[in-house]
Amino acid sequence: MCKTVNGKTVWLFENSVASGMNTHSHLSMLHLRNLKRSVLCFLLVVCLFFTGSCSSLQETVIFIPVDSGQIPAGLTITGPSLKGIEIYVRGPKSSVRILSDLKMRYVLDLSGVHTGINSIPIKKDRIILPEGISIVKINPMFLTVTIENKIKKELPVKSLFSGKPATGFTVSGAVAKPSSVILQGPESILGPMDKVLTKSIEIKGLSESFKKEVALDLVEDLEIISPSEIIFAEISIEEKIVTQKFSDIQVEGKNSPFSYLITPPAINIEVKGPLNIIEKLYTEKWIAVYVDLKGLPPGTYVKRATITLPVKTALIGVTPEMFTIKISSNLNKK
């Protein structure tokens, strides 16, 4: 643009400069807006990526049983049995879902243990997991085990019974075959033992002898070394034998037509035999005591009494042994 001033032509450029400046400013603003949009789009893509990735991961807790590893010779574990550890893991859902089907077990490293209480660390590198699954946490981080010296000892086998035989019967004997076994286990448990018992053998109501295969009643830390884990018990059940005294049993006379007088008139006896018979001897009138007078004429005689008892019983004592019998000439009116 030009203008005449004092007769001279002057060219003016204000509008052109201003216009150029406005155009540059406008371009800068557009560039800034585009940059902001690009950054926002980038952040949105990143967020979507991580959101998608995180949504495909899963955390869970699995229980892994623990087994004791190889222990140094001459030592053994005592106390409660090892149970297991809890492993907190993270990984793809598809991999986490199959963990329960793997039936994993953790083998405890006992190579450096000593007698006494040992705290054994749980090592991540001993836990084998599928690819893509990581361990977040282990609970507990240590397991405590008690270690003792292991010894061997030979002990006699004794039979253990439960219940009672039938009334009038008793266990007269019990024999275990083999009669002794060699056990191995912790010194604190096996050391004080002087015998080993069988599992309880039921004899309730029995009245006959029998044989039976039984197991030994062993605590978890003991094991049989020899000769066998199979024990045969031979149980003898017999009638219970007792001794009992019977007093003032009337002495009778037999086979005489005459009247007679027996002095003393009663006898005391002691009888041995099965309980079931002895208890009924008197009430069932199974005892008979008499003097045989057959063929004796009137007169005075000293004789022994005849005592009859049931089968399986035995007379072991009698008082008095001799009796005075006076036979009169009068006929017996009985």
Domain boundaries, the chain: 14-55, 57-149, 151-239, 242-331
SS3 227: coil
Architecture of domain 57-149: Beta Complex (2.170)
Between the CA atoms of 296, 302, 308 and 313, what dihedral angle is there, to the nearest 10 degrees?
-160
**In this structure, what token pair is assigned to residue 221?**
């830390």
Distances (CA, A) of 143 to 111, 146, 147, 253: 14, 10, 13, 91
CATH topology classification for 242-331: RNA Polymerase Alpha Subunit; Chain A, domain 2 (2.170.120)
Q: Are 181 and 226 in contact (CB under 8 A)?
A: yes
User: What per-residue confidence (pLDDT) applies to 30?
Assistant: 52
Q: What's the predicted TM-score (pTM) here?
A: 0.57
Per-residue pLDDT of the chain (334 residues; tens, 9 = 90+): 444 444 444 444 344 434 444 444 545 565 566 566 555 545 544 433 444 444 478 888 889 899 888 888 999 988 777 888 898 988 888 788 788 778 888 998 898 899 999 999 998 888 888 888 888 999 999 999 999 999 999 999 999 999 999 999 999 999 999 999 999 999 999 999 999 999 999 999 999 999 999 999 998 889 898 877 789 999 999 999 999 999 999 999 999 999 999 999 999 999 999 999 999 988 888 999 999 999 999 999 999 999 999 999 999 999 999 999 999 999 877 6
User: What per-residue confidence (pLDDT) applies to 304?
Assistant: 95
SS3 115: coil
Question: Sign of dihedral through CA atoms 78, 80, 82, 85?
Answer: negative
6 exposed, middle or buried (CB, 10 Å; 0-12, 13-18, 19+)?
exposed
The class that CATH gives domain 151-239 is mainly beta
* Cβ neighbours of 182 (radius 10 Å): 13
279 exposed, middle or buried (CB, 10 Å; 0-12, 13-18, 19+)?
middle
User: What per-residue confidence (pLDDT) applies to 39?
Assistant: 53
User: What per-residue confidence (pLDDT) applies to 36?
Assistant: 61
Q: Which of 116, 109, 114, 115 is nearest to 142 (CA)?
A: 109
User: What per-residue confidence (pLDDT) applies to 132?
Assistant: 86
Q: Are 310 and 288 in contact (CB under 8 A)?
A: no
